[in-house]
Copies of this chain bind each other. A is one copy, B any other.
């Protein structure tokens, strides 16, 4: 995989945010600097980066979000607004306690799902 300007921009955008963005958000930010970039390029690049272990994918509410921090670390996810927040930068989850049934492990997602403070105060809107 070549390091193209498109790929570099996508990595930069992901590394510069802690918001765990989805492909559309990355695309919308990317075209501010490269107006002709296509959404397909964003999807293809994110998929490649994930396969290479450069970034981590978080599936939530039917949308793929991406994280430049590939350490194992737990996330808080809001089931109302879909927001994803880091709890810490790393967490030691000891796989030796488990029977991994022959799986070759690639990554671990620790997702703690709940309602964020903002959505708790907006109760009337539901």
**Could you list which residues of chain A lie within 8 angstroms of chain B, going by C-beta atoms?**
59-62, 64, 74, 76, 78-79, 85, 87-88, 95, 98-117, 120
Contact B111 A108, beta carbon cutoff 8 Å? yes
Contact residues of A: prevailing secondary structure: strand
Are A106 and B101 interface neighbours, CB within 8 A? Answer: no
Select which of B76, B95, B100, B102 is within 8 A of A100 by beta carbon: B76
Residue in contact with A101 in the complex, picked from B64, B85, B99, B101, CB distance below 8 Å = B85
Q: Is the CB of A112 within 8 A of B117?
A: no
**Contact between A103 and B109 (Cβ–Cβ < 8 Å)?**
no
Taking the closest CB of chain B, its distance from the CB of A49, in whole angstroms, is: 14
* Residue from A79, A85, A112, A115 having most chain B Cβ neighbours under 10 A: A112
Return A69 CB to nearest CB of chain B, in Å.
16
